[in-house]
Amino acid sequence: MCGIIGIIAKDAVAQGLLEGLRRLEYRGYDSAGIATLVDGRIERRRAEGKLANLARRLEREPVQGLIGIGHTRWATHGLPTETNAHPIATDRVAVVHNGIIENFQALRAELSEAGYVFQTETDTEAVAILATYFLDRGLTPQQAVAETLARLEGAFALAFLFAGEHDLLIGARRGSPLTIGYGDG
Ligand code: GLU
């Protein structure tokens, strides 16, 4: 089990993401991270272990951004290292994921064959790179996620953040819970 969160707001979201992750802490985790957009680029801060480590990282290296996603990871595929911590990202998309992608090895082989390079040991990276594959072929984020979800086997909750898209988060779930809220600001 793990926790995922996404926020689009009128003020910087980093501390709100951290607070959201604190509220999900009870679910258990072994690393944590957030991603936001700064000038349209995906910026990440991740840390092994407890949220206090991520909080310290954010104090040392603050990150701006009015949109972002966050994750507390309970590793199922790959060690609980910073490299494997979510958000898992390419230049175009960042992903947080609760659950397991059962067919990640087949997807990984297919995408490696197509020339994409994997940086982590996670099943989740197949989701990020598959979405990137579709974005690279000119699909919109919505289309790219729809095509990606159609290829996934397993149970998951996912949130996607896209480079250059300051007003868009996409959430998806199959089997795992996910809620959406609307608030003032
Ligand atoms: N299977 C993913 C991983 O190992 C997500 C695990 C989770 O739900 O925290 O990175």
User: 112: domain CATH number?
Assistant: 3.60.20.10
Q: Which atom from ligand 1 is nearest to the alpha carbon of 77?
A: 4
Does the structure show a pLDDT above 70 at 123? Answer: yes
- What local confidence, expressed as pLDDT, does residue 2 receive? 85
Q: Determine, yes or no, domain membership for 131.
A: yes
Give the whole-number percent of the chain exceeding pLDDT 90. 96
pLDDT greater than 80 at residue 1: no
| pLDDT tens per residue, range 166-175 | 999 999 999 9
Domain that holds residue 121: 3-76+84-174
In a domain, 185, yes or no: no
The burial of 184, by beta-carbon neighbours within 10 Å (0-12 exposed, 13-18 middle, 19 or more buried), is given as exposed
Question: Looking at the domain assignment, is residue 184 inside a domain?
Answer: no
- The three-point CA angle 148-32-129 to 5° equals 20
| Nearest atom within ligand 1 for CA of residue 74 | 9
Cβ 112 vs Cβ 135: under 8 Å: no
Tally of structural domains, the chain: 1
**pLDDT for position 185:** 85
Is residue 124 domain-resident? yes
Q: Which atom of ligand 1 is nearest to the CA of 98?
A: 8
- Predicted TM-score (pTM) of the model is 0.97
Query: Residues lining ligand 1, judged by CB closer than 6 Å?
Result: 2, 73-78, 97-100, 122-124
What span, in angstroms and rounded, lies between the C-alpha atoms of 37 and 44? 9
Query: Could you tell me if residue 165 is inside a domain?
Result: yes
